Structures are given as C-alpha cells and as structure tokens.
A = this chain, B = another copy of it.
Amino acid sequence: MNVLWILAHPEPRSLNGFLAAEGQRALRGDGHEVEVSDLYAMGWNPVVDAHGYAHDPAERFRVAAAAKRAFESGALGTDIRAEQEKIDRADTIVVQFPMWWFGMPAILKGWFDRVWLQGYAYGLRGPDGEWVGYGDGFLAGKRALAVVTTGGPAWLYGGRGIHGAVDELLFPLQHGTLFYAGAEVLPPVVISGADRFTPREGEQAAVVLRERLLAIPVTEPIPYRRQNGGDYGDDLVLRPEVAPGATGLGVHLA
C-alpha cells in the first residue's frame, strides 16, 4: 500500500501520538509506504479564505467557484496543492483524530474544507456526462479508514448510548466526505475510554490498530449504497421500494 496518514492531535506524547507512531511503524515494517500529514506539526491553516484560492478580495468571494478557478489555473496555495499531490500518490488514506464535540478537531475539518475543492473533489462528471459521487469519484479505487479516540466509554457510543451511535456520528466524514469522493470506506477503528487509559491499555489499543491496518486490503468496506447503483432515483432520493418507509442515516446502508 501507499498510505497517506492524516493526523490531528496537538501532542505527540498523547495516546494519539503513540498510536500514530505504532501504526506507521507496523505499516512500514510490513513493506508499505507511509506519507504523513501531521496537521499540528505542519502548522496547517484550516480556515478557507480568499488568499488560499488566489482570489481578489475586491470581488465577492464565491468559495466553490473561486477554489475551482484557482485549481484549474494552477493558482492554488502551495500548501493546498501539496496535500492534493499526497492524496493523488496514495492508494489508502488513514484519518486519525480524537473526537471533539462529536466530530473532527477544527484543524482536520479545515483540511477537508480547503483541500477537497470543487473541480478536484466534487462537481465531477463521468464518461457519459453523469454526475459522479457516492461510490465513484476522485478517490475511486482507494480505501479509507478513520481511526478515532473517544474520551468516554464505548457503550455511550452504542446504538442506544446517549452520545449517539458512533457510526452515525461519523456519517458526515465516512459517507458524506470519503464515500462521496469514491473511496471504499472501512469500518472505523474506534478506541474508547481514552481519557483514562493506562500505558497497558494503550499498548492493547495499538495491537488492535496494527491488526486493522495490516488487514486493510482484505477488509470488507461499509456497504453504503452507491449513487448510480440503482437504489436512488434520478432525484437522488431512495426509491420507494428500497427499505420502504424507513428514514434516517441508516437507510443509506445496503
């Protein structure tokens, strides 16, 4: 594998720092290439602004259009372009972060906001002029894996736990971002109870992580329904005969 590992944690001496080092070591030890975007270490700027898209601030800043123009004319900020080149080189993307307020830390959210721009990551058409997305796109043929720590214990993130089911909390990232872009998204590695981890529990988590990483090529992806697979109508709403009457995020699983 050629892995791009995106990490969002401010402290290398944390559990996340330990897991990142151990996971990358396991992959390299197994003969894989690993490129790392350690967003805190890079001082990544997560804020979409006119400057990154070489937009003249005298003109109204239409975010998507300005980004597309900069991408197509080669005027993108070099930090954004560098991340796109890493994505293009990878066949596997690992996104590792601590869950903060039930989502990604801002520095990571802003990696997607700035890098996954119109013309590169969305707004694409296929060979027959059809719109592309959800199961096909610029990540087609690549695999993606989220590695997430939560402060609270696992049962709070179960199907009936008060925080909400973790798979559904991760839906905007896993379905709306990674699967939308065409990646095969693997079930996440969720390491719960991280607030009170002992070194021994950290090592146990690293064992699980190593196994999951080395199994990436043979792991069954999350069975999200494909946009152009027949389950959705032309309006991109689930056809009435598919999971009849059901609503909610779970209906997008085949």
Q: Mark A82-121, 1 if CB is under 8 A from B, else 0.
A: 0000000000000000101111111101101100100000
Q: Is the CB of A227 within 8 A of B104?
A: no
Q: Is the CB of A106 within 8 A of B113?
A: yes
| Residues of A122-155 whose CB lies within 8 A of B | 134, 151, 155
The smallest C-beta distance from A235 to any residue of chain B, in angstroms, reads 6
Residues of chain B lying within 8 A (CB to CB) of residue A109: 101, 103-106, 109-110
Q: Is the CB of B101 within 8 A of A106?
A: no
Residues of chain B lying within 8 A (CB to CB) of residue A61: 10-11, 13-14
Q: Is the CB of A237 within 8 A of B163?
A: no
Residues of chain B lying within 8 A (CB to CB) of residue A249: 164-165, 168, 248-249
Q: Is the CB of A101 within 8 A of B63?
A: no
Which stretch, A19-27, A30-38, A172-180, A201-209, touches the partner chain B? Answer: A172-180
Query: Roughly how many angstroms separate A106 CA and B44 CA in the complex, as a whole number?
Result: 12
> Which listed residue, B160, B162, B237, touches A155 by the CB 8 Å rule?
B237
